[in-house]
Amino acid sequence: MKITDLKVIRANRAVYVKIETDEGITGLGESGAWGLLEASAQAIIMMKDYLVGQNPLDIEKHWQYMYRFSHFRGAAMMGAISAIDIALYDIAGKLFNVPVYRLLGGKVRDKVRVYNHVSGRTEEELVESAIRGKEEGFTALGHLNPYLDEPRTEPFKDNNTALLYKAERRIAKVREAVGKDVDLCLELHRRLEPGLAVQLSARLEPYNPMFLEDPIRPDNFDEMGRVASQCRIPIATGERINTYHEFEMLLEKNACSYVRASLGVCGGFTGIKKIAAVAEAHHKSLIPHNPCSPVMTNAVLQFVAATDNVAITEYPNPYAASTADHLTGSGVKLRQCDMVDQIAEFKDGYLTVPERPGIGIELIPDVEDRFPFRPHQVMTRLNFDGSICDQ
């Protein structure tokens, strides 16, 4: 078997790769490079000259070649490698007529526990969204932002005292509304300085969050380690780093309890398997990051089905236009589930593991026409004084 062509598909807020072979089997993968999708698409195209003519089953070799050839990496390049790696595994699964999880060692679980994306521009909306998530059957509520999902065009005014009191009040209201049998997965969006993050963790302890995600900017592993050592609520981080070497350094600093590796930017199945092994050696579990389309969700489900040290998985709403549109209330009337031929079944807080060969999902034939590509705008929020506000 040989690779005969590699095509980039841009649709909605996603970039995919389709790899064709001389045996008529095709593979589908998605880049998770988020705001850098166009750059990631160009990196995928750059790999075509190397991949055409190669055996698609030599997946580890191709991964090492792409990972090491340029001497420079980053999110756009790792997103490209991830998309290609996922597509190569999709081809292998279809060739051997098995789901990808069989190629990764077989099942360790029959279904995958997931958390949803709670959102709200006001406290009332936040609480209503949490209640709705519980009513829909989720046993864990995620992307729960105690600083709300306000527009990035609106200057942020709160001082340190307000940051503490408002966050505590909002999480208290959510906990009261959904009861004590639901996990709360808090997303802090790198909003706080280290000392304030420790203060906030202490104030939120009575509400028993499952974890605090990215309380500070994740650039400094030492500082994240110091925050984690002073917080009694577990820290989750990792979505903004790309290689298993970086995750090893993060874990050596004891900087998190949960590893937020992103299948779409850490090297696909090949990369995240390495990260999972490193995490397991440190007695840590993964909570895979996934803000992407149902294609990525299927890939994540294949990985989680075959990986023991996964605590829970992020589940982007397939009935929304995209995760960004869902969280910002853009009003775009599209549904990601209509981009593909099927989605995994959700029931009682769990997703079923896809059993079709490969990753078990295909794009509709006219996806680029029905879902024109919408790149992310360069826009970040500002504080009231004009300085940068992480959100």
List domains and CATH numbers for the chain.
3-99 (3.30.390.10), 103-358 (3.20.20.120)
Instruction: Give the other-Cβ count within 10 Å of 161's Cβ.
Output: 8
DSSP for 26-78?
Answer: EEEEE---GGGHHHHHHHHHHTHHHHTTS-TT-HHHHHHHHHHSSS---HHHH
Radius of gyration of the chain (CA): 20
Average pLDDT over residues 307-336: 93
Q: Who has greater pLDDT, 332 or 260?
A: 260
What element of type H or E holds 230? helix 221-230
Query: How many residues are given for the chain?
Result: 391
Helix (H, G, I), strand (E, B) or coil at 258: strand
Is residue 329 scored above 90 in pLDDT? no
Judge whether 193 and 158 are in contact, CB under 8 Å.
Answer: no
For residue 165, what are its two tokens? 């009191």
CA 29 to chain centre: 15
Give the pLDDT confidence score for residue 210 in this predicted structure.
98
**DSSP letter at 200?**
H
Of 114, 56, 130, 55, the C-alpha closest to 90 is 56
Average pLDDT over residues 176-193: 96
- Distance (Å, whole) CA 20 – CA 87: 10
Q: Who has greater pLDDT, 171 or 379?
A: 171
- Distance (Å, whole) CA 322 – CA 117: 11
Is residue 114 scored above 90 in pLDDT? yes
For residue 268, what are its two tokens? 């696909």
Judge whether 144 and 118 are in contact, CB under 8 Å.
Answer: yes
Burial of 150 (0-12, 13-18, 19+ CB in 10 A): middle
Instruction: Give the other-Cβ count within 10 Å of 262's Cβ.
Output: 30
Residues 307-328 as b or e (16 or more Cβ within 10 Å = b):
bebbbbbbbbbbebbbbbbbbb
Query: What digits encode the pLDDT tens for the residues 291-303?
Result: 999 999 999 999 9
**Which residues are CB-neighbours of 317 under 8 A, at least 6 positions away?**
116, 117, 323, 326, 336
| Helix (DSSP H) and strand (DSSP E) numbers for the chain | 14, 15
The residues annotated with a catalytic role in the active site are: 189, 289
Average pLDDT over residues 152-159: 93
Average pLDDT over residues 242-256: 97
Give the pLDDT confidence score for residue 7 in this predicted structure.
98
Q: At what angle do helices 221-230 and 194-204 cross, to 10 degrees?
A: 30
Instruction: Give the lowest-confidence range in 57-61, 162-166, 198-202, 327-331.
Output: 327-331
Give the pLDDT confidence score for residue 72 in this predicted structure.
86
Give the pLDDT confidence score for residue 327 in this predicted structure.
85
Give the pLDDT confidence score for residue 154 in this predicted structure.
93
Of 381, 379, 391, the C-alpha closest to 192 is 391
Is residue 229 scored above 90 in pLDDT? yes
Average pLDDT over residues 138-162: 94
| Average pLDDT score, the chain | 96
**Which residues are CB-neighbours of 61 under 8 A, at least 6 positions away?**
none
- Distance (Å, whole) CA 46 – CA 8: 11
The dihedral formed by the CA atoms of 333, 138, 306 and 99, expressed in degrees to the nearest 10? -40
Give the pLDDT confidence score for residue 330 in this predicted structure.
80
Give the pLDDT confidence score for residue 282 in this predicted structure.
98
What element of type H or E holds 136? none
Average pLDDT over residues 63-70: 94
**Which residues are CB-neighbours of 30 under 8 A, at least 6 positions away?**
14, 15, 16, 17, 82, 83, 86, 264, 292, 293, 295, 296, 299
Q: Who has greater pLDDT, 391 or 208?
A: 208
Average pLDDT over residues 360-374: 97
Average pLDDT over residues 19-24: 98
Query: Residues of the chain with pLDDT > 70: what percent?
Result: 100
Query: Residues of the chain with pLDDT > 90: what percent?
Result: 93
Q: Who has greater pLDDT, 181 or 376?
A: 181
Average pLDDT over residues 90-109: 98
- Distance (Å, whole) CA 183 – CA 134: 10
Give the pLDDT confidence score for residue 35 in this predicted structure.
86
Judge whether 174 and 137 are in contact, CB under 8 Å.
Answer: no
Give the pLDDT confidence score for residue 328 in this predicted structure.
82
Give the pLDDT confidence score for residue 56 in this predicted structure.
98
Helix (H, G, I), strand (E, B) or coil at 236: strand
CA 102 to chain centre: 22
Local confidence band at 391 (pLDDT 50, 70, 90 cut-offs): confident
